[in-house]
Chain A
Amino acid sequence: MSDMMDDMDEGGEGVVKKFMFVNRKAPHGTIYALEGLEVVLVSAAFDQDVSLVFVDDGVYELIKGVNTKGIEVKDFSKTYRALEGYDVEKLYVEKASMDARGLTVEDLIVDVTVLDSTEMASLMAEQDVVISY
């Protein structure tokens, strides 16, 4: 049993795949953003190579200065800052999506890499699994 555990710990038989989660929805109007974030945390627990991408209204998920008291829902924006602790450190935003919303990286709650659409397409093309919300 302990040998088996050792194998699992080392990921001996485990396959590490490149997982990309594509976030395209604003945070509170639908449940997609929150549920997507939950799945990211689950996948991170399985030691996968996880990238998070924010395009279209998805960039709104990362805005600073959120106060959800008035609408009585959970403020999960702070969870994005905790992703580092789960070794989820590859966060990307698309420049065109930011520009269309008048946003800059200064408006965001976490450090991100800004990619143009071509770079984003290349990054998507090299994934094993892409899950889009």
Chain B
Amino acid sequence: MSEANGFEPKIIAFCCNWCSYAGADLAGTSRLQYPPNVRIVRVMCSGMVHPNLIIDTLTKGADGVILCGCHPGDCHYLDGNLTAQKRAEAIDLMLEDFGLEPERFRLEWISASEGPRFAQVMTEMVESIKGIGPSPYVRRSD
């Protein structure tokens, strides 16, 4: 899979405990293949991921961030994912303020039964980040 320039992006995925993390689990137990560039951070709800955390992640070493929550209406905490959605709009604007491409942040709804979708979303994300190249904030040793 390695590209001509050998760029392997580092992508952080924040997955909610109740849907998306279980979806990732299902992808694992189903032996689905997806690129190893994704590091998963389990959080209790997508609504608890403050924009600060996303911006810090993007300006301190990650090439992309993906925030995964339950489908609207399915949130374990009723409306946490809707909070995440509102914040995602602000995050999109802040990417502009920090000079980052909009593709570097994605919000996705992945339920516990959507293992294949999880693998597919992660593959797409890695491909898209490989296409736009490393984050301007990342200083690589090479």
Q: Do chains A and B interact in one complex? A: no
* Chain B residues packing against A (C-beta within 8 Å): none
* Chain A residues packing against B (C-beta within 8 Å): none
